[in-house]
Amino acid sequence: MESNATTSRLTAIALSFMAVIWVSPFSWLILNAFNPMSTGQLEIPKSIGLDNFALAVSGNAGRQFLNSLLIAAGTATLSVVVGISAAYPLSRLRIPGRNAFLWTLVLLRMLPSAGVLVPLYFAAQRGGLLNQFGVIIALTILNLPFTLLLLKNFFDTVPIELEEAAYVEGATLFQIVTRIVLPMSRAGIAVVWFFSFTGAWNEFLLPLIFSRVQDGFPMSVGLYAAFGQQGAINYGFLTAFSIIYAAPAVGVYFLLRRNMNTGFAGVGVKG
C-alpha cells in the first residue's frame, strides 16, 4: 500500500510539473496580450485592456488578417472544387494506371515547397500571377495530390447502386453528384477544406516571394516582420497578434468538427 501511495504521489508531481510547463507559455501569451503596459515578463498585469488587440486589427495588421483570410479560404475552396471535379471521375472511371498516377502525385508532393519554388515563381511571373491570386493557385496545385487521394477514397465508399437508381429515375449527373455523392462524402470534403485552409493560413514562403509588397502580406509574414520592427519588440502587440492569428484556424476546426467526425455510415440498398 505504501509503495502504491508513493508511486501515486510521484505520478501526481510529474503530471503537475508537465502541466506547468505546458500552461506557462499560454499564460505568458494571454497575460501580455491583455496588459496595455506589457514588458514581456510573466507577471500579473496591473491593468487589463484591449489596446493591444485594437492595434493588432488596425492598419497593416488588419490588412494582413484580411489577406490571410482571402488566401486561406480561397485556397481551401478552390482545392475542394478542383479536387471534386478530378477525384469523382478517378473513382468511377476504370482508367488504366489511375492508382499509380495518384501515388506518383503524392510522391512528388513529398518534395519540400522550396524545391518547386523556382518553377512556380517563373510560371507565375510569366502569367502575371505574382499576387494573392497566384498564391492561391500555387497552393491549390501543391494541395492537389492529397486532395485527390482523400476525396477519391471517400467517393469509393458511396455505393454505385444508389447512383444507378437515381439515373434510372431520370437524375442528371450533376444532380447525382450534388444530391447523393457529395452529402455522403461530406466528412472527406470537410477534412480537405480544413487542412487546405490551415495549410494556406500558415504558409509563409510562397506569400513572401509572390506578394513582395507589405500590403499583400498575410499574417504569417506580418508576424515575422513584427519582430524587431523599428528596433524594438512590442510584446503586447505580438501576443495579441499571435492570438488573433491562431483564432481562425481554431474556429474553423470547431465549425467543421461535426462533419469531420461523420463518415459514410452505410446506406442499405433494397433490391
CATH number of the domain residue 133 falls in: 1.10.3720.10
Residue 97 lies in a domain: yes
Q: According to the model, what pLDDT value does residue 197 have?
A: 94
> Is residue 19 over pLDDT 80?
no
User: How many domains, the chain?
Assistant: 1
Residue 254 lies in a domain: no
The dihedral built from the CA positions of residue 217, 222, 226 and 227, taken in this order, carries a sign that is negative
Residue 259 lies in a domain: no
Whole-Å CA distances, 2 to 8, 9, 12, 14, 167: 10, 11, 15, 18, 72
Q: State pTM to two decimals.
A: 0.80
For residues 40-62, average pLDDT: 81
Q: Where in the sequence is the domain holding 180, given as residue range(s)?
A: 66-216
Residue 4 lies in a domain: no
Query: Exposure of 117 by Cβ count < 10 A (0-12 exposed, 13-18 middle, 19+ buried)?
Result: middle
Residue 134 lies in a domain: yes
Residue 139 lies in a domain: yes
For residues 160-168, average pLDDT: 88
Q: According to the model, what pLDDT value does residue 271 have?
A: 36
Mean pLDDT of the chain: 81
CA 145 – CA 179 distance, rounded (Å) = 25
How sure is the predictor about 251, in pLDDT bands with cuts at 50, 70 and 90?
confident
